[in-house]
Amino acid sequence: MIRCVLAVMAVLATTVQANENIADQYPGSALYSAPVEFIPGVFSAIGATAPPTYENSGHNNNLSFIVTGEGVVVINGGGAYVLAAALHDEIKARTDEPVVLVINENGQGHAMLGNSYWAEQGVPIIAHEDAAAEFEDRGFQILEAMQGLNKEKAEGTYLQGPTETFSDDYIVELGDFRIEVRYLGPSHSAGDVVVWLPNQELVIAGDIAFHERMLPLFDDTNTLHWLDTWDTAFEPLNATYVIPGHGHPTNMDQVRLYTKGYLEYLRGKIAEHLEAGGGLAEAYYVDQSPYAHLDTFEELATKNAGRVYEQMEFE
């Protein structure tokens, strides 16, 4: 089975390319793309590898779900009520099993704003305590930004945090699935978690891992800590399959290249710049050409360089 799935993934890698210039791949649905089953029982609707827009309804991350045989587990509430409702329609078209749990991968809008829909369905929603605190602190700004983007498609969305939080791990066993929601340590944003399926050797990595698009660095993203979390906790999972937070499902080699590899490369360039006595103004333009083919490079590369400079200046 593993060889068969790997072969399918290899075909996907060569025939389905990310392209931030495609506004919508699934006309008639609020979702950017239709969910695809990548291994038996595990589906993901792949978001745009572009910034959130009105055209993609803010669906620029991956919305996944697991059909366990004893209920459906959804990973990410979605970036708006309309996206959560659209994902639920797709779930109901594939199984009669009810949704029994929603997992928020972090406290960002694309993970939590759709909680408003799931709460109305009476579904429990879990998140790491740091993610819940982040959403509580910044929720109004996150909601306001989404409303400005989505206009009438923002209808029905209101601030709804998780109904339960945890600090380290949250484990549930349903059907053939042992679902381990793990906080591995600091990475992209507050309270980032992964969903590890040890029996299937698959990790739904959330924003600890990116593929096909450039990762963004926030003001509070500590790249040194992210790299440490990668080496000490994420890499040792030794996952065969990786569904990243952004980009098509792939393997550890690919997310290592475009996440850990990019962070190490950029930190190396900024270190050279600092050693040469360079300032912030020039740091924005250090050479990042090896990653120029990634979607969102134009929007993010210079910002990322500036933020790494500001961090490393005082390390």
Record the tokens describing residue 314, joined without a space: 């005082």
User: pLDDT tens digits for 114-144?
Assistant: 999 999 999 999 999 999 999 999 999 999 9
* pLDDT for 19: 85
Query: pTM of the entire structure?
Result: 0.94
* pLDDT for 237: 98
Q: For residue 110, what are the contacts with CB-CB under 8 A and spacing of at least 6? A: 47, 52, 58, 59, 60, 61, 76, 78, 79
CA distance 122 to 100: 9
Taking residues 195-207, report their average pLDDT: 98
* pLDDT for 248: 96
CA distance 25 to 47: 9
Q: For residue 101, what are the contacts with CB-CB under 8 A and spacing of at least 6? A: 71, 73, 74, 123, 124, 125, 126, 172
Give the Cβ contact number of residue 232 at 10 Å: 11
The alpha carbon of 49 is separated from its chain's Cα centroid by a whole number of angstroms, namely 11
User: pLDDT tens digits for 224-281?
Assistant: 999 999 999 999 999 999 999 999 999 999 999 999 999 999 999 999 999 999 999 9
* pLDDT for 17: 64
